[in-house]
Structure 1
C-alpha cells in the first residue's frame, strides 16, 4: 500500500474529531480524518441532541460558551442549521435539596454568559401549564437549545472535506506507531503518516492511546433513549431535572425525545436500552408531564460513551510525545461542547496554545 502523508491525522469522526479537522483545515493544515464507521455514527450521532451550557461545571463554561458561539454561527461554519434551534433549557427541582443545588449554581455562574432565570413552581406552571404539581422550582437557561445529532457530525466532516481535508470512512485503525518524527497509522485500506496526531475516538480512544504507551482511566456508559410518535407541539424548552435521571425535548414535527438511566452493552461496539430502564423512564416522564399518557413510543436506542473521572474530558497535548493530542472522555456531555473542543484542539495543533482555558481538561490529572 502507498503511504499517504499529511500534516495532521485525526482518529475519530465524531463531533470533536470532525470539527477539529474542519478548523485545522481552515488554518491551512493538510489533515487526514480516519473514522472506523461513518462520521457521526457512534455517540455523536445517537445522543439526546441537547445543546446546553446550563449544568456544566462552572470551570467548563468558557469552553461551553465558545462552543455555543460556533453553534450560533452554524450557517457559516458548516453550511446550515441542521435543526439547531435556541429553545432554552429548563432544569427542574422536585424537592428542596434539588432547589438548593440550582440556586447555588445560579450564584456560582453569574457573569459567565448563561443569563439564568430562577423560576418558582407556580411561575413554571403559569408558563407551561402541562407540568405536574411535583415541580418545586427551576432554572431557565434562555440561550441553550437542541439540534439533530444524526446530521451535525456528518455536516462538520463534509465541511472539512470542502475545506481540503481527506476524510476516510469505514477504516478501523489497526496499528498506531510513533516514528522518529511523527506518527504512522495503519488501516486495512491504507498507511497514513503525519507529524501530528489527534486521538478523538470516544469510547475507543484508550485502545489507541495504549499503543503509544499512554493509558487513561476511561470507562464506558450506555445512555438509554426513546422517541415518541408526533404529537401536537407543546414543549418549547428542553427539559432536565436536577440529578439528571430524565431529560426531554420535542422537535418541531412533534416527536418527543427523552432519555435517562443506562442501557447495557451488547458487544464491544454496541449497546441497547432495557425494558426495565424504559419502564422507569416512562414513569418519570409521566410524573412531570401527565398529559403524555398513552403516547406511543416509536423507537428506543442506546449508545456507547467514554467516561473519565469527574465526568471531565481530556483536551490536551501528550505529556510524553510531541505532536500528540487528545480530545475524548466527554462523559455523555460532548454534543454541545464538541465544536468548542474541536476549535481548541485546532488551536493547540496549529499554534501550540489556545485562548480558551483548558486547565480543567489537562492530562496532568492522570500523571
Structure 2
C-alpha cells in the first residue's frame, strides 16, 4: 500500500492548487474528487477575480492570491482567461457611497488601492450605466477569469508533476491512526497518508465531523446567466453594494451575470437554476445596464457551494486532530482565493504554519460565539 505524505479530499480550485504546491515541494500527494476536478463551485461561479469588498480576515489571502493569478501561465501553462479589467462596485444611494468610502479606508492598510468615483465621474467614464447608479469604487487590479479552465489546469499540472489525481472517486470515510490517516473510497480502495487536507467544499463540514470538528455548513446555489455575444463595451466587472447583481463581459462578447439563488441538493449532488431568480436577475441587470434589454439570454446554470453562517470560510488546522487541515465554506466568493488557499494549505501541512495571516478564519470562532460578519460577497 502506498503511503502518501498528504491526501486531499476535494478537487475544486483550492484542492487542485494544494496538490500542485505540495508537489512543487516534493511531497507525495493523492487528491480524491467524487466528480470531476472543478465541476462544482470552482467551475460554475461568476468568474470574478475580486479583492475589493472582502472582509479584512480574507484580504491577506486575496492579496497573495492576486500575485498568483498573474503568474498562471508560468505555473500551469495557461492564463485561465484572467484579465485585469478592474472591478467596479456601484453605489445606488448615499448610504452605499458612504459604505464604499469607509471600506476604502479599511482596505488601505492591506495595500489595496481603490478609486472612488462620484456621480459625474462615473457618468463620464461609464455612460452605459443606468440612472440608479450614483457613484462607485474601482479596484483597477481586480478582474475576471474563466472558472471552467483554472481548476482543471492546476489538476493537470499537478498530475504532470507526479500527483495522484483520482476523479470519480468518492471518499466514504477517513480515520486518524497512529501513523496518519486511513481513507476509504466508495470503490473499496483503502489509502494511507501522513496528513489529510479537507477541501471538500459543501461537504467539508461532513468530513470535519468525522474527526470531532463540528460546525454548521449550509448550501447555496448562485443563479448564473449568460447572453449572446455582444460588441465589447463593458470594461470592468461590476458589482453593487448589497450584492444583489453582478455582471461582466467575457472576451468573446457574452455578458455573464448572476443574481439570486437556485436549488441545491447536497445529498443527491444536484443543483438547478430557478426561472424566478433568472427573471429577477434580468430585471436588475437591465436596470444597471439598460442596453442589455435587447440581449438574448442563452443559458442559465448553477452549482453547489458551501455556506457558513457568518459568510467567511473555515481555514486552518483541526482543533481536535493532529495533521488535519480544513478549508471549506467559501460562501460564493472563493474563486479568487483558491490559488492562494492551496498554497497556504500546503504550508500548513508541511511546515505547520503559513506566512499569510489567516486569523479569524479558524473553526474556533463559532465555539466562541462571535458576532456574524458580512463577507460583502459582490
Partner of 1:299: 299
Tell me how far apart the structure 2 counterparts of residues 209 and 348 of structure 1 sit (CA, whole Å): 16
**Aligned equivalents of 1:212 and 1:293: distance in 2?**
51
Counterparts of 1:22 and 1:172, CA distance in 2: 20
Distance in 1, matches of 2:173 and 2:265, equals 25
CA distance in 1 between counterparts of 2:145 and 2:282 reads 23
CA distance, structure 1, for counterparts of residue 171 and residue 323 of structure 2: 19
Is 1:311 the counterpart of 2:311? The answer is: yes
Is 2:227 aligned against 1:228? yes
1:113-192 matches, cutoff 5 A: 113-189=111-187, 190-192=189-191
Give the whole-Å Cα distance in 1 for the aligned partners of 2:366 and 2:348.
20
TM-superposed CA distance for 1:111, in Å, is 3.4
CA–CA separation in structure 2 for the residues paired with 1:169 and 1:152? 16
1:184-231 C-alpha deviation (Å, 9 max, x unpaired): 111134221001000001001122222222221111111101000001
Contact 1:92 1:242 in 2 (8 A): yes
2:354 aligned with 1:354: yes
* 3-state SS, counterpart of residue 310 of structure 1: coil
Per-residue CA shift, 1:9-33, capped at 9, x if unaligned?
0000001111011111111110000
What is the total number of aligned residue pairs between the two structures? 365
In structure 1, distance between residues paired with 2:5 and 2:266:
35
The TM-score normalised by the length of structure 2 is 0.94
Q: CA deviation at 1:113?
A: 2.2
Bigger mean CA deviation after superposition, 240-249 or 354-363: 354-363
Q: Which residue number corresponds to residue 104 of structure 2?
A: 106
Asked if the contact 2:31–2:164 (Cα under 8 Å) also holds between the matched residues in 1, the reply is yes
The aligned residue for residue 345 of structure 1 is 345
Matches within 5 A, 1:5-154: 5-154=3-152
SS in 1 for 2:213: coil
**CA–CA distance in 2 between the matches of 1:193 and 1:267?**
27
Q: Tell me what 1:331 maps to.
A: 331
* Mapped pair 1:321 → 2:330: no
Gaps of 5+ in 1: none
Native 8 Å contact 1:4 1:191 kept in 2: no
**Aligned residue for 1:365?**
365
Q: CA RMSD in A?
A: 1.1
Q: Hey, what does 1:210 align to over in structure 2?
A: 209
